[in-house]
């Protein structure tokens, strides 16, 4: 890879200025390889660069306000991780990532290099209890305004808006980077009127970047009048080509009155 900096240490000390580096966040998970070399040995370690701060319960990451979906690890486990527990924590982090969690909260007594390293690898902010940030619940959402909200059992990772009710134009915004997830996700749209299903089976593979708006035109809505319900279902598709399985991940219902 490309070398972004190099320095010779004198008496074990030195300063190196880095330019044009990519900062770490929970989506990019950008890390660099830091190498210490002497005549006797070479030590290499992955590092990430991050600017994270709290003020009045508000979180700022790399200069931008950040919504945190936080797991209170201190309420999940009661001791520092041993080798067996470490493997279990990695499994839990991967599971929590699918629910769109992006931060781990720990008490000072549970500060751990292992936790910090695995959070960096899996895409979690590693938050240690401090005066500016305290958390008592097992899990919750910390909004950009510094307000704690309950974390739903299944976090619906897309936002849906009705852009043009006459034409049946919907806007879909992803909160996940679905490109980083191995499973396939898609949505199915069903239109109901007077409890009768008018149309269904529109599938849209979620492969667009997070926080970007994509549009879907549900054309037959333009031909309907009165109260219309649009059911947007999010599915996770797993398995292989021979035995596909689709799981309903969550559903949103939108209403149009024409």
Least confident of 25-34, 152-161, 189-198: 152-161
Q: In terms of C-beta density within 10 A (0-12 exposed, 13-18 middle, 19 or more buried), how is residue 76 classed?
A: middle
Per-residue confidence band for 242, with pLDDT thresholds at 50, 70 and 90: very low
**Per-position DSSP letters for 242-258, written without gaps between them:** SSEEEEEEEEEEEEEE-
Q: Which domain holds residue 98?
A: 51-150
> Is the pLDDT confidence value at 84 over 60?
yes
Q: How many structural domains is the chain composed of?
A: 2
Per-residue confidence band for 79, with pLDDT thresholds at 50, 70 and 90: low
Report which of residues 94 and 7 the model is more confident about: 94
pLDDT (average), residues 221-236:
86
d(CA 29, CA 46): 11
To the question of pTM greater than 0.85 for the whole model, the response is no
> Is the pLDDT confidence value at 103 over 90?
yes
What confidence tens digit (pLDDT) does each residue in 203-215 have?
777 777 777 888 8
Residue 216 belongs to a domain: yes
Domain final residue pick, 127, 150, 173: 150
126 and 58 together in one domain: yes
Residue 7 belongs to a domain: no
> Is the pLDDT confidence value at 233 over 80?
yes
Residues 61/102, Cβ–Cβ less than 8 Å? no
Q: How large a percentage of the chain has pLDDT more than 90?
A: 15
Domain final residue pick, 120, 150, 180: 150
What CATH number does residue 214 fall under? 2.60.40.10
């Amino acid at each position: 890879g490309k070398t972004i900096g190099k320095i010779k240490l004198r008496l074990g000390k030195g300063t190196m200025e880095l330019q044009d580096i990519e900062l770490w966040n929970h989506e990019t998970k950008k890390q660099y390889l830091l190498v210490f070399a002497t005549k006797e040995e070479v030590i290499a370690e992955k590092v990430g660069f991050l600017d994270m701060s709290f003020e009045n319960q508000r979180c700022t990451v790399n200069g931008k306000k950040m919504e945190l979906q936080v797991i209170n690890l201190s309420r999940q486990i009661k001791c520092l991780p041993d080798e067996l527990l470490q493997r279990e924590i990695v499994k839990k982090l991967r599971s929590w990532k699918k629910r769109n969690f992006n931060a781990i909260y720990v008490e000072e007594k549970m500060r751990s290099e292992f936790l910090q390293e695995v959070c960096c690898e899996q895409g979690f902010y590693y938050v240690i209890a401090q005066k500016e940030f305290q958390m008592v619940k097992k899990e919750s959402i910390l909004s950009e305004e510094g307000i704690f909200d309950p974390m739903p059992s299944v976090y619906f990772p897309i936002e849906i808006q009705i852009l043009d009710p006459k034409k049946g134009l919907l806007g879909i915004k992803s909160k996940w980077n679905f490109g980083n997830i191995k499973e396939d996700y898609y949505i199915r749209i069903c239109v109901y009127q007077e409890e009768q299903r008018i149309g269904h089976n529109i599938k849209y593979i979620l492969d667009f970047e997070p926080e970007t708006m994509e549009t879907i035109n549900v054309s037959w809505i333009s031909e309907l009048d009165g109260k219309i319900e649009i059911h947007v279902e999010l599915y996770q598709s797993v398995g292989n080509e021979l035995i596909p399985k689709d799981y309903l991940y969550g559903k949103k219902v939108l209403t149009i009155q024409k």
